Structure 1
Amino acid sequence: MDLEAIPGVGEKTASALRTLEDPETVVESGDVAAIARAPGVNEARAARIARGAIRRRHDDLGRLLATDRAREIYRDAVGLLQDRTVTDYAAKRLETFYPSGSASRIAEAQAFVTAAMEREPTAAVLDALADVEPLTTPPTVRVRDRCLATADAETYAKAEAAMPELSVETVENPRDISELARSYATVIVLDESFAGLDVEGDVHVRPDALQTPAETVPERLLSFFAANRDRLLAAARVHEAAGLEPAADLDRLRDALSRLTDDATIVGDDELGRLTDAVSDLDAAVATAESVADDRLRDAIRERDVTIEGTDFLSLVEQGARVDSLLDRELADEYDAALRAAREHLADALRLDPGEAELAARAFPEGDPTFPVTADDAAVSQLRTELSVARDRRAARLKAALATDLGELRDPVETLVADALELDVELAISRFARDYDCVMPRVVDPAGDGERDTDADAGTGSVDTTRGFRIEGGRSPLLDVEFEAVDPVAYEVRGVTLLSGVNSGGKTSLLDLVALVVILAHMGMPVPARSATVERFSEVHYYAKSQGTLDAGAFEATLRDFGDLVAGATGRLVLVDELESITEPGASAKIIAGILEALDGQDATAVFVSHLAREIREAAAAPVAVDGIEATGLEDGELRVNRSPKKDHLARSTPELIVEKLAEERGDDFYGDLLEKF
């Protein structure tokens, strides 16, 4: 796939997408989170890229929504769906469902949505989803106890690019490698020419090291799992609560994560813990061991009377003897006991094994007595080095072992989290359908188009065609009232129709409902109705009510818009709310009549809301269908209205109803004469 062929993807974005592993597959999948891993691509941008890829796949490069008001209804529809998501991912993913004029895209979306509507949005699943997020890539960690070594310049460059976590060193001979082994706990030699190398230290000749990152630098994999621990555990809970078959072994995943801290270090291994504590506690243990020895000597001195004859004292002075010599002569046994106590304390405090305890004993060597007792710094330093190397080597082995276990889970956990996030998308659709009593609509081909009905039986080879739309039991969730309080309406239009009716009778709300049902149907979504059949339109033009009479320039611009609209209008849905408000009523009626005539001659579907239905019909050169939202009367000053339009009926206006009410109540000739004028 040519990434730059995707609508909205330029050279810079295509370059960023190519940094992804298998970018074509990722983009085609519509996985917003995966696309957003490209540098500089956020989730909103990723949703647009996914939409563009879908459009390209279905050769769907047109735009169904042709006016601002149509696009507003679409945003309202997406907002209703997004209000029912738990994760940010699902909210962005729903934006990839756009109104399409492509039969194949609508069918594809309907297949997804139909399955989604079967999902059961339980409280347990929704609670578990709250902690699910797309997997994150942690920053590169620096590993300082290990290095790569090579004599080849090309291999050096590849190693630096492949494993930025490790230092890469240049070597020429075994002596260079031996030097590195004194500075690093482990040296990994990449050149096969050094096979059979025998040098002191933990040195491995592994030409395949760059191809096995889990073994060479397990910290990469461990840091990924540590950084995503909460996301992975949350995804596991979602699968269990929803009864989904997980892509990964959840028990194995939890066991592996339990051996890993948030900073990607290994826990749960007693030997590693002992060595780690020994290195950490070494200085404190040495200081305490010195104190133990000193205390033993003080107690010995207090318990004994040390007597020195005059001739002995003179002889010692003449020989330049110090107090240490006196200790050696008088308290030699006690001094040796104090050293033994210090050694034992050091070995016990650090829980040293026999070999380490033997090395620790050198910190308090036999020799000339001193007071206070002081550990040998060189011996302590050597002990620290030995313990640190042992700790690092064991940690490396454990990391490699755990990384091997987790390496087998790496791809499955990607699917695990992706499935949990996609479940949120499905549940949002299911909740939308349940909250608004939705049904899947039938989207059928326009007559003569020859493409397949998205709801037809693929095995029959039949093509169901129709014009316009039919809505039964439709209720709009866009009204500013509780949905349960909304009156259901039925309305069907094929061709061009004027919609008349009283003020506040629901004409604009009905246009909004028609637009919403048509747009949702072209998104492949369920619609808030008992049943609905919708023509697969090429474009949707919805013109909202104008706010006041237009000046000459704006009026001319509006007429130009409608001139463009009626040019090639076949397959379009046109919804217009009170166009007469743009200019004086007499001119408006003539203009609307002309527009209706042009649309009717092109097999468009149109609904024009107007209070000038009678005048428009009189101005038209051909018959114009008129439907009416009929008010059945006034009760306590409030209109009683049948919200479903009556076909081929010019509805009475509110003034006519009021005059009729007064004529009946007063029996007055004045009101009777007024009524006859309607």
Structure 2
Amino acid sequence: MDLESIPGVGEKTARALSELDDPERALRAGDVAAIATAPGITQGRAARIARGAIRVEHDDPGGFLATDRARDVYRNVLALLKSRTVTDYAAQRLETIYPSTRRSRIEEVQAFAGDALEREHDEDVLAALEGVEPLRSPGDIRVRERCLATTDAERYSEAREAIPELSVEIVEDAQGLAELARGYSTVIALDESFAGVTIDGDVQVRPDALETPAEVVPERPLAFFARNRDRLQAAVEVHQAAGLEPACDLDALEDGLSRLDEDGTVAGDDELDRLTTAVDDLDAAVGAAESVANDRLREAIREQDVTIEGSDLLSLVERGAGVDSLLSRELADEYAAAIEAARDHLVDALDLDQGEAEIARRAFSDEPTFPVERDEAVVSRLDEELTATKERRAGRLKRELAADLADQREGARQLVRDALELDVELAIARFAREFECTMPEFVGSETLRISEDSEAPRASEDGEASRASENSEAVGFTIEGGQSPLLDEPLEAIDPVDYEVSGVALLSGVNSGGKTSTLDLVASVVVLAHMGLPVPAERVRLRRFDDLHYHAKTQGTLDAGAFESTVREFADLAQGGEGSLVLVDELESITEPGASAKIIAGILEALSENGATAVFVSHLAGEIREMADYDVTVDGIEAVGLVDGELEVNRSPVKDHLARSTPELIVEKLADEAREPVANGGVPEEEAGPVFYDRLLEKFE
């Protein structure tokens, strides 16, 4: 895929995307989280880039949502889907599902949604999903106790690029290598010429080191698992709770994660813990050992009566001897015991092994001195020995753990991707169940797309698709048992609606009878169907539309400029509206009622001639029908009557029926009430209201 062919992706963004591990996979899959890891790309922009890539993949021109109200409907149904997600990723991923005109895209999402509808979930799965997030990059890693060495300048540059985590040093010969070994715990020589050279310290000759960086720097793979340990563990729990087929060995992954600390060090090794503690506590332990020796000597001196003959004192003075000589002669045994106590304390405090203890004991000299002081050279050597041993063991453990986890890395990535995608699927499944949705059936639209998609109509086994395409002009939409998800009511309080339109129709009905909510239902169903998702109805059949023009009810009469703009928009539809779905709510409010009826009649004529599908809600249906030069279909949402002052309405539009208005129903109710006294011997008819009310009713005929 040419990255710069994606809408909104220029040269700079294309370079950023190319830094992803697999940019084409991320773009084709709509993996917003992966795309957002590219430098300088936010999650919101990642979603837009993913949508653009999908459009390129399916040669989708976009623009299905042709009006503000159509876009509002899409945003509203998308918000309903997103509200049922657990992770931020799933919410962003749903934004890559948009209404499309392309069959390939619709069928792609339908296949995904079909699998989603099979998903079962419980609270354990949703709880586990709360801990799943897209994996993070471990960031820059620096390892300071190890270095690479070479005699070649070109090899030096290669090493710095291949393994930036380690310092790279140029040496001239084995002596230079030996000097490096004194400053680093491990030196890795890249030149084969050093093979067989004996050097003190941990010097490894690895000419192939640049080809196997994970072995040289196990911190690289370990940092990935350490930084993402909690997210990976959450993904494991999701797979276990949901019964998903894992992309890697869960037991092996959990075992590896249990041996890894958050900082990337190996956990759970007693010997490494001992060495780490010894290095960290060395200075404090030596200081405590000094105190042990000096405290014992002070106590011994306080309790000891020392007698010095005059000749002895003169002799000590003449020789320049001090208290050390006095200790050696008078308190030799006590000094030896104090030093031994100090040595034992140091060995025990640091839990040193035999070899380390031999070095530690030399930290306190047998030569009497007061106060007792450490031998800094010996302590420094002990520190070096402990540190080197610790680093060697840590390195070996890291290499072993990195080797165990190395084969799990791609599987671990997929594990998290699958858990996040499960959240997307569950959001679709939960939406479908809560709104009692079904997958829609597209019919009769293939002949409209042969020139664009270069695909022949695909007949089903009983030939239904073939027959439908032969009659494509008659196809609009059929909704059975639809319940608008945009109504702010519980599902059980929403009356199911059946409605079918082929061609152009006027929709009449009483105020508050449900005309606008019927348009919202149609728009929601069509938008969701073109997204490839289930729709809130018992059954839906529809054609594949080119675009959706939904014009909401205008508040008040438009001024001249706005009126002109509205008429121009319908002129464009009349010219190129073939394959469009046009939904209009009370267009008559744009100008005077008489002019409105004429304008709407003209628009309906043009749309009908052009092969569009349209529903116009209007209170002027009768007037419009009279002015149109063809037999306009008029459907009606019929009010059954008034019950306790409230309208009782059949929400499903009745085909070819001009619905009665609310005023007509009220007059009829008054007439019925006025007739009751006459029927029961009351006021004579000529003096009562029925005559007046009947006269008014005649005006509605």
Query: Helix, strand or coil for the counterpart of 2:448?
Result: coil
Q: Distance in 2 between matches of 1:316 and 1:540?
A: 112
2:41 matched to which residue of 1? 41
The answer on whether the counterparts of 1:476 and 1:528 sit within 8 Å (CA) in structure 2 is yes
After TM superposition, the structure 1 = structure 2 runs for residues 552-567 of structure 1, keeping only pairs within 5 Å, are: 552-567=560-575
How far apart are residue 492 of structure 1 and its match?
Answer: 0.2
- What residue number does 2:685 align with? none
Amino acid paired to 1:675: L
Aligned to 2:585: 577
Residue 596 of structure 1 pairs with residue 595 of structure 2: no
Whole-angstrom CA distance in 1 between matches of 2:177 and 2:462: 71
Equivalent residue, structure 1, for 2:686:
none
| 1:510 equivalent in structure 2 | 518
After superposition, what is the alpha-carbon deviation per residue over 1:434-479, rounded to whole angstroms, capped at 9, x for unaligned? 0000011101232743768999648979534341000000001211
Could you tell me how far 1:331 is from its partner in structure 2?
A: 2.1
* Match in the other structure for 2:679: none
2:71 aligned partner, one-letter code = R
2:342 matches 1:342: yes
Cα deviations across residues 163-201 of structure 1 (Å, max 9, x unaligned)? 222212222222222211111111112233433333222
- Would the alpha carbon gap of residues 458 and 418 (structure 1) be closer, same or farther in structure 2, given more than 3 Å must change? farther
Alignment partners' CA distance in 1, 2:265 and 2:223: 9
8 Å contact 2:226–2:261 — kept in the other structure? yes
SS in 2 for 1:563: helix
Q: Are the structure 2 counterparts of residues 355 and 447 from structure 1 closer, same or farther at C-alpha, using a change threshold of 3 Å? A: closer
Which residue in the other structure is 2:694 paired with? 672
Q: How does 1:166-205 map onto structure 2 within 5 Å?
A: 166-205=166-205
Bigger Cα displacement from structure 2, 466-475 vs 303-312: 303-312
Secondary structure, aligned partner of 1:121: coil
> 1:481-510: CA deviations, max 9, x gaps?
222100001000000100011111100000
Q: Which amino acid aligns with 1:327?
A: L
2-structure distance, mates of 1:485, 1:581: 30
Q: Which residue of 2 aligns with 1:14?
A: 14
Partners of 2:631 and 2:561 lie apart in 1 by 32
Give the residue type in structure 2 aligned to 1:660: E
For structure 2, the 5+ residue unaligned runs are 676-688
* Counterpart in the other structure of 1:386: 385
Structure 1 residues 460, 554: CA separation in 2 closer, same or farther (over 3 Å shift)?
A: closer
In structure 2, relative to structure 1, the CA distance for the partners of 1:314 and 1:172 (3 Å cut) is closer
Secondary structure class of the residue paired with 2:93: helix
Q: Tell me what 1:427 maps to.
A: 426
CA distance 1:112–1:201, shift in 2 (3 Å)? same
Structure 1 residue aligned with 2:439: 440
- Give the match's secondary structure for 1:623: coil
CA distance in 2, matches of 1:212, 1:444: 57
- Report if aligned partners of 2:457, 2:465 keep a CA contact under 8 Å in 1: no
Match of 1:70 in 2: 70
CA gap 1:135/1:70 in 2 versus in 1, 3 angstroms:
same
Between the aligned partners of 2:187 and 2:199, the Cα distance in structure 1 is 11
Task: Spell out, residue by residue over 1:534-561, the C-alpha distance to the aligned partner (whole angstroms, 9 max, x if none).
Answer: 1101111111111111111111111111
CA drift at 1:350: 1.2
Give the structure 2 partner of residue 292 of structure 1.
292
Partner letter of residue 324 of structure 1? D
User: 1:586 and 1:304 mapped to 2: Cα distance?
Assistant: 127
Matched, 1:631 2:616: no
Matched, 1:613 2:621: yes
1:121–1:430 contact (8 Å) kept in structure 2: no
Q: Secondary structure at the match of 1:634?
A: strand
Q: Aligned in 2, Cα 1:486/1:413: closer, same or farther, shift over 3 Å? A: same
Per-residue CA deviation, residues 504-530 of structure 1 (Å, 9 max, x unaligned), is 110000000000001100111001101
TM-score using structure 1 length: 0.97
Pick which of 419-428 and 328-337 moved more.
Answer: 328-337
More displaced stretch, 582-591 vs 187-196: 187-196
- Per the TM alignment, residue 277 of structure 1 is displaced from its structure 2 partner at its CA by 1.1
Q: 1:542 to 1:60 in 2, by over 3 A?
A: same
Q: Is the 8 A contact 2:485 2:524 kept in 1?
A: no
Letter in 1 for 2:526: V
Change (3 A) 1:499 1:381: same
Once the two structures are aligned, what percentage of the paired residues are identical?
67
1:197/1:534 Cα in 2 relative to 1: closer, same or farther (>3 Å)? Answer: farther
| Structure 1 residue 340 displacement after superposition | 2.1
Contact 2:504–2:614 (8 Å) recurs in 1: yes
Distance across 2 between alignment mates of 1:455 and 1:525: 21
Give 1:583 shift: 0.3
Report how many residues are paired. Answer: 677
SS of 2:26's equivalent in the other structure is: helix
In 1: Cα distance, 2:62 partner to 2:141 partner: 47
In structure 1, what is the Cα distance between the partners aligned to 2:337 and 2:424? 75
2:480 is equivalent to residue 480 of structure 1: no
Does the 8 A contact of 1:549 with 1:582 survive in 2?
yes
Give matches, 1:137-216, under 5 Å.
Answer: 137-216=137-216
Amino acid at match of 1:99: P
- Mark the CA change 1:508 to 1:108 in structure 2 (over 3 Å): closer, same or farther: same
1:321-470 to 2 correspondences below 5 Å:
321-367=321-367, 369-446=368-445, 448-449=447-448, 457=460, 462-463=465-466, 464-465=468-469, 466=472, 467-470=475-478
Q: How far did 1:315 drift?
A: 2.5
For residues 313 and 173 of structure 1, what CA distance do their matches in structure 2 show?
60
Query: Which deviations, in whole Å up to 9, do the C-alpha atoms of 1:223-274 show, x marking residues without a partner?
Result: 2111111101111110011011111222222221122111112221111111
Between the aligned partners of 1:219 and 1:289, the Cα distance in structure 2 is: 36
CA 1:555–1:288: 2 relative to 1, 3 Å: same
User: Does residue 551 in structure 1 map to residue 573 in structure 2?
Assistant: no
**1:136 is matched with which residue?**
136
**Is 1:55 aligned with 2:49?**
no
Distance 2:423 2:325 in 1: 83
C-alpha offsets along residues 317-364 of structure 1, whole Å, 9 cap, x if unaligned? 233221211211122233223222222221122111111111112111
Structure 1 unmatched ranges of 5 or more: none
Please state how far the C-alpha of 1:304 moved relative to its aligned partner.
4.0
Contact kept, 8 Å, 1:107 with 1:454, in 2: the verdict is no
Post-superposition offset of 1:308:
2.0
Distance 1:292 1:445, change over 3 A: same
Counterpart in the other structure of 1:537 = 545
Residue pair 1:443, 1:454 contacting (<8 A) in 2 also = no
| Contact in 2 for aligned 1:440/1:527 (Cα 8 Å) | yes
Instruction: For residue 96 of structure 1, give the secondary structure of its aligned residue in structure 2.
Output: coil
Contact 1:444 1:453 in 2 (8 A): no
Cα distance in 2, alignment partners of residues 453 and 75 from structure 1: 33
CA distance in 2, matches of 1:658, 1:522: 42
Bigger mean CA offset, 72-81 vs 344-353: 344-353
- The aligned residue for residue 661 of structure 2 is 653
**What is the root-mean-square deviation in Å for CA atoms of aligned residues?**
1.8
Judge which range, 439-448 or 478-487, deviates more: 439-448
Report if aligned partners of 1:443, 1:453 keep a CA contact under 8 Å in 2.
no
1:86 is aligned to 2:94:
no
Note if contact 1:443-1:522 (Cα within 8 Å) is conserved in structure 2: no
SS in 1 for 2:629: coil
Task: Rate the CA distance shift 1:136–1:406 in 2: closer, same or farther, 3 A.
Answer: same
Alignment partner, residue 684 of structure 2: none
